A and B are shown apart, each in its own frame.
Chain A
Amino acid sequence: MGSVFRPAANFWASLTLLMMALAVAAFSLSVWLWPHSDDARRVNWAPAQPVPFSHQHHVSGLGIDCRYCHASVEVSSNAGMPPTYACMSCHSQIWTNAALLEPVRNSLKDDRPLVWRRVTDVPDYVYFDHSIHIAKGVGCSSCHGDVASMALTYKAKSLTMQFCLDCHRDPGPRLRPKDKIYDTSWTRDATTPAPELLLAAYGVPQRNLTDCSICHR
């Protein structure tokens, strides 16, 4: 009786096994690694906004403080978006004919808020609070990047759970002096007080910052 399989079958069998192994590897990569990649997290992504608002112009160029527009960032969980009225406190008098600003003027006239598209967003099951981070010496750029030099606002950090935990495990080296919190181009240099000094000055941490219940409650 002749053999059931020809010699070439060995080759095909191994190839099939190899392919299956590759498929499993590719599948796990796409399921477990892809969602954490910068592309999937939309890092460096700037959504189309109703008005091409430029932080570079307003913050670096004109020297306006973050809190002029994001007024509640020190006292509330939300940083707060500027109401149309805040834009119009200047644009009622300057650039009054610019077509770019048409939506802003219409918004004030029709009493309908501008709908900005979210750039940074954490899922709804994550509890986040701006005020405590500002009070404890975490600057805007630690989570939002160098906003003051962005022509269009883009998401600069991945904001995964890993990202938050990296700092919560050891906040010291990332804290900064009070007067540098709104300076988005700040980096640690020789004049910065040592991490231990900053931790002591801000009284951080008084609890275990990696407890699940800190961020999921």
Chain B
Amino acid sequence: MIRALAILSLCALSACSDMSEQPKQRSYSPLVGPAPTPTGVVTFLYREPTPPPLTLALVERGQQRFRIFCTPCHSELGNGQGMIVQRGFPEPPSYMSARLLKAPTRHFVDVIAQGHGAMYSYAARVPPADRWAIAAYIRALQKSQNASAEDLAAARAEAAP
């Protein structure tokens, strides 16, 4: 009888899995305790990001990031008629407006980092390198919609070996 009980309780125990609860710190677990600050830590030094060299890879990266973060409002064309605007969000200015055509590239980087009026900052989700990539892509968008036949011919001639 005792042996049977022992076997039964062993079986019952085997179903317990306390292993799945381990009190370690993960991104979304409640704070276990403040992490100790290592010695010799200096405050974060902010460096002004320098514009990266303009490459095709940069513009393609910019296109991908632009489609994730900016098209909901600015639309794929950059004319400010995105889906969220159609649902009642204030309309942003078109990138083809004379003012934004003349604005320095740095302006776009700053708007992403700091926001502008009704537009919130995207600093938390778009890291500095991507901000320059997006700005480069906006430049390409502006060019594409104001291009003339001669520009295209010139580009073709340049691309041809």
Number of B interface residues, CB 8 Å?
29
Contact flags B86-101 to A (C-beta < 8 A → 1, else 0): 0111100000000000
Q: Quick check: A31 and B14 within 8 Å, CB to CB?
A: yes
- The answer, yes or no, to whether A68 is at the interface (CB within 8 Å) is yes
Which residues of B are found within 8 Å of A62, using beta-carbon distances?
72, 83-84, 87
CB distance B90 to A64 under 8 Å?
no
Which residue of chain A lies nearest to B122 when distances are taken between CB atoms in the complex? A89
Interface centre among B14, B15, B21, B72 (most CB of A within 10 A): B72
**Interface: B147 (CB within 8 A):** no
Q: Cβ of A125 < 8 Å from any Cβ of B? A: yes
Which residue from chain B places its CB closest to the CB of A83 in the assembled complex?
A: B124
CA distance A123 to B20 in the complex (A): 5
Docked-complex contact B72 and A123, CB < 8 angstroms: no
The residue on A at minimum CB distance from B14 is A31
Are B11 and A31 in contact, CB atoms less than 8 angstroms apart?
yes
- Which chain B residues in 97-121 approach chain A with CB under 8 Å? 118-120
Interface residues of B (CB under 8 A from A): 11, 14-15, 17, 19-22, 24, 26-28, 67-69, 71-72, 83-84, 87-90, 118-120, 122, 124-125
Q: Can you spell out 17 A-B residue pairs with CB atoms less than 8 angstroms apart?
A: A31-B11, A62-B84, A63-B83, A64-B72, A65-B67, A65-B68, A71-B125, A80-B27, A83-B124, A85-B120, A85-B124, A86-B124, A90-B72, A93-B90, A94-B89, A124-B20, A125-B22
